Structure 1
Amino acid sequence: MGDEGGLRERKKRQMYCRLSDTAIGLFLERGYEQVTVADVAAAVDVSKPTLFRYFPAKEDLVLHRLADHVGEAGRVVAGRPAGQSPLEALRRHFLDGLDLRDPVTGLNDDPDVLAFHRLLYGTPSLVARLHTHVERDEAALAEVLDGEYGGGVRARLAAGQIVAVRRVLAQENWRGVTAGRDADALYPEAVAVAELAHAQLEAGLPHLAHPHYVTE
């Protein structure tokens, strides 16, 4: 029974990826507005109702590529090692992402990544849908911070600041590479700006910058 459940789950994940990858390929080839959900379903040889069971909205076909990152800041804080402050964990995580040229940091000049980002940020309905992911990030991080420190609105305000800083850093890096700058050449500057940004967060959120604020 467990093997059957695992197989079903793998097939489900594979279908999510197949639908999303096919849709993104069609959107990049023809344009987002020129491709219908029916076109995507036909390309994967499934019915529209089947597609909608996986993706309730057309925009979700694109945003699925970012699904693994939804709630990431909250997971980083919740899973940090003992003795490490929330902001230090987030700083290290972002710097590690820069080092790996993780597309979510914006510091990636691979042509396929740039094409995806142009699709995402150049389509108003996708940008609007992206805001729901940002809101989920904030809510997940606020829940972790509130669970550890309490504070209610204080935790939500802190989460909003943190998520906004990470978003702006990624956007600045993306602007650099889309302007033609090499990601490797931009890396030192991206690190310096990230360090500055996290220093500002520490100054504004001192209760999240001390190692003794850890889960007991």
Structure 2
Amino acid sequence: MGLDSTTATGSTTGGAAPGLREAKKRETRQLISDRATVLFIEQGFERTTIAEIADAARVAKKTVTNYFPYKEDLAFDHQEEFVGALARTVAARAPGETALAALRRTFLAAVAAQDPVAGFAGFEFTRMIADSATLTTCLRGLHDQREHRLAAALAEATGAPADAITPRTAAALLGGVHRVLFDRIMALTLAGRTNPEIAAVLHDEAERAFALLAPALDAYAPA
């Protein structure tokens, strides 16, 4: 059961250790997200209200909006992880490893792990996104943000100005491949393929997709 706004500000919680308070906040946030996802899948994103989500999680409406300022945030609960993933991969690449090599390696590992953030979200969740004009628009925006974050990381990695054309173009190419592969995972999911089947297909397709970028980016931005 989640904490409502009264409990969250009451004397018992207020006197708890900081670690306990943070754990309760995480639990409440996850509960709200889980209940929202169930309702979105059952009723559709547009038809589900914040009031219904609050009732399902047994919290106040204000508690929902405190944790999730926008309704879309409830559907894309891991959007920061998604948006920052490519930039983090570039920043953490191994000595001598190029941006392309690091991103290819990391994507193939995500495919092998059938990572939901890479697109392996299951049929019901994927259908929920595909059926919602709001969520499909939001997803395009998250891809755009991810590309912009990657461009900034590439500029920093190569010592280029933030608005330089080379890191922006490289980010567009690398982000574009990731976007195409993400869409491919969604399409195969909606076609009824299982995650292991999709992973087998995507491994080979990802290798071919990244290979197309090798002539331009194989030596770009080594660590």
* TM-score normalised by L of structure 2: 0.82
Q: Give, in whole Å, the separation in 1 of the partners of 2:58 and 2:23.
A: 19
Paired residue total: 205
**Residue 32 of structure 1 aligns to a residue in which SS?**
coil
Q: Relative to 1, partners in 2 of residues 1:130 and 1:113: Cα closer, same or farther, differing over 3 Å?
A: same
**Residue 33 of structure 1 aligns to a residue in which SS?**
coil
In structure 1, the residue matched to 2:206 is 194
In structure 2, the residue matched to 1:57 is 70
Question: Is the 1:74–1:140 Cα contact (8 Å) retained in structure 2?
Answer: yes
Range moving further from structure 2, 171-180 or 182-191: 182-191
Shift of 1:176: 2.2
What residue identity is the alignment partner of 2:37?
Answer: I
Query: Going by fraction, where is helix more abundant, 1 or 2?
Result: 1
1:117 pairs, out of 116, 126, 141, with: 126
Q: Give, in whole Å, the separation in 2 of the partners of 1:32 and 1:189.
A: 30
1:175 pairs, out of 187, 195, 210, with: 187
Question: Is the 2:78–2:117 Cα contact (8 Å) retained in structure 1?
Answer: no
Q: How does 1:42-191 map to 2 (within 5 A)?
A: 42-106=55-119, 108=120, 113-149=122-158, 150-151=160-161, 152-191=164-203
Question: Is the 2:100–2:218 Cα contact (8 Å) retained in structure 1?
Answer: no
2:41 pairs, out of 28, 50, 61, with: 28
Identity of aligned residues (%): 35
Question: Is the 1:20–1:65 Cα contact (8 Å) retained in structure 2?
Answer: no
Which runs of 5 or more residues in structure 1 are unaligned?
none
Q: Relative to 1, partners in 2 of residues 1:186 and 1:24: Cα closer, same or farther, differing over 3 Å?
A: closer
In structure 2, the residue matched to 1:11 is 24
Shift of 1:65: 4.0
Q: Relative to 1, partners in 2 of residues 1:57 and 1:186: Cα closer, same or farther, differing over 3 Å?
A: closer
Range moving further from structure 2, 46-55 or 129-138: 129-138
* TM-score normalised by L of structure 1: 0.85
Q: Give, in whole Å, the separation in 1 of the partners of 2:139 and 2:200.
A: 28
Q: Give, in whole Å, the separation in 2 of the partners of 1:184 and 1:44.
A: 33
Q: Relative to 1, partners in 2 of residues 1:67 and 1:13: Cα closer, same or farther, differing over 3 Å?
A: farther
Q: Give, in whole Å, the separation in 1 of the partners of 2:156 and 2:18.
A: 33
Q: Which runs of 4+ in 1 moved over 6 A?
A: none
The alignment's C-alpha RMSD in Å is 2.1
Question: Is the 1:104–1:170 Cα contact (8 Å) retained in structure 2?
Answer: no
